[in-house]
Amino acid sequence: MNQQESEILKESSKEVNEYLERAIPVLEGLLVPLREGRSVEPISSLASAADGLGGLVQYASSARTLLESYNADLADAFYNFESRLGAALEPLVAGMDAQDAVLVADIVEYELIPALKELQSAVRDVLGQSNIH
């Protein structure tokens, strides 16, 4: 990886880490309202997060590509995130379409949040690598 790619990876990793520090608590905060079925507003909130998830997938794919020849284990962590998120999205969308708040809450709690925390760990590993170049 050349110097420019390294700088782009570090900068985008900082931005993704900041996003995840905000997004994960918000998702965790939606669990109780979803399970209590107070309204469909939490489901609407999740729908608006779709752009953010798309950006995370783009970041993970780019990071994986850049890291493949440098750090295979770290590249695998990004691949694992992409796989976990992909597996969670279809049932999440189906639950949202059906307005099944309990199903949506379960997927968010047991699939989406753990995948985001896994990504956050990989991002922090990238940020902790002083020798990425």
Q: Does the pLDDT at position 40 exceed 70?
A: no
For the chain, the structural domain boundaries read 3-128
pTM recorded for the entire structure: 0.88
Q: pLDDT tens digit string along 49-93?
A: 777 888 999 999 999 999 998 899 999 999 999 999 989 988 988
Task: Kindly list the distances between the CA atom of residue 13 and the CA atoms of 1, 16, 18, 72, in Å, as whole numbers in the listed order.
Answer: 15, 5, 9, 17
Q: Tokens representing 41? A: 């507003």
- Report residue 130's pLDDT band, with 50, 70 and 90 as the boundaries: low
Q: What is the pLDDT of residues 6-20, one digit of tens each?
A: 899 999 999 999 999
Which residue shows structure tokens 């850049």? 66
* pLDDT for position 133: 53
Cα gap 104→95, rounded to integer Å: 5
In the prediction, which pLDDT does 57 show? 93
Whether 45 has a pLDDT exceeding 80, the answer reads no
Q: What is the mean pLDDT of the chain?
A: 88
